[in-house]
Copies of this chain bind each other. A is one copy, B any other.
């Protein structure tokens, strides 16, 4: 934690002094270690992430840090599509579910019309 002696995970990775008020400290703890931040630095760059967090209200920064970390991890695992591969997979799942739903609705309508005959 900033000011308590141990640098936060980000400053540990960046090998810099973790000052009081460090923008990363609340979201990248010392215990998570440097490896957690390395993906973020490699994909976005610590400076860009620092600026992005600084432009957000304090109450929104935790969520932003989580989603940035997720995007960074996904881009390292899949350098071509990153987390967009997850979007493609979900879009396909939606299409499949909609097709199943349309089929069942059609069947139900047919059963009803037969019952009414």
Contact = CB atoms under 8 A, between A and B. Distances in A.
Interface of A: 42-45, 47-48, 52, 55-56, 60, 63-64, 67-68, 70-71, 75, 79-84, 86-87, 90-91, 93-94, 97-98, 100-101, 104-105, 107-108, 111
Most buried by B among A45, A60, A80, A101: A80
A63 B45 CA distance: 22
Contact residues of A: prevailing secondary structure: helix
B67 A84 contact: yes
Contact of A71 (B71, B90, B108): B71
A94 B60 CA distance: 26
A104 to B, nearest CB: 5
Contact of A80 (B60, B83, B105, B111): B60
